[in-house]
Copies of this chain bind each other. A is one copy, B any other.
Amino acid sequence: MTSPADLQQLLRGVALRVTRPRIAVLGAVHAHPHADTESIISAVREELPEASHQAVYDSLRVLTNAGLVRRIQPAGSVARYESRVGDNHHHVVCRSCGTVSDVDCAVGDAPCLTASDDHGFSIDEAEVVYWGFCPACSTAGSRP
């Protein structure tokens, strides 16, 4: 759990204005990792019932640009957000229920960052998504 004062510090640390919606959004992302926008809107409204969905979308974009939250969007999913930033971690996604879990990098510190042939691209990030079935869906026979 991150206190409002800590969240405020985070915002000031990146030169962003401190507003109630931003505090609430940042808190919600900390409290609910990998939540989609709608879940974040619900969480925000528990403490700030009047918050508009637009304010949440705006806040998420601002916070993402500032590097305070990270946006992830597995194929076929809506956008999800997490507060764990700055490290080189990846995700495993359940094909059945969409659950996302964090995965530390498999092969050392900066793995996969060296593409075999980069086609002249200047690459700054390697994103890894593992696809499979979560424990619950595996045992529930949800696998095709």
Contact = CB atoms under 8 A, between A and B. Distances in A.
Interface string A23-65: 0000000000000000000000000000000000000000000
A129 B132 contact: no
A61 to B, nearest CB: 12
A9 interface: no
Interface string A114-134: 111111111111111111111
Quickly give the copy total for this chain.
2
Nearest to A120: B135
Contact of A123 (B117, B118, B124, B132): B132
A110 B54 CA distance: 43
B107 A119 contact: no
Interface residues of A, number: 42
A101 B123 CA distance: 12
A121 B107 contact: no
Given A106-B116, A112-B112, A119-B92, A130 B134 contact: no
A128 B112 contact: yes
Interface string A69-110: 001110110010000000000101010000001011111000
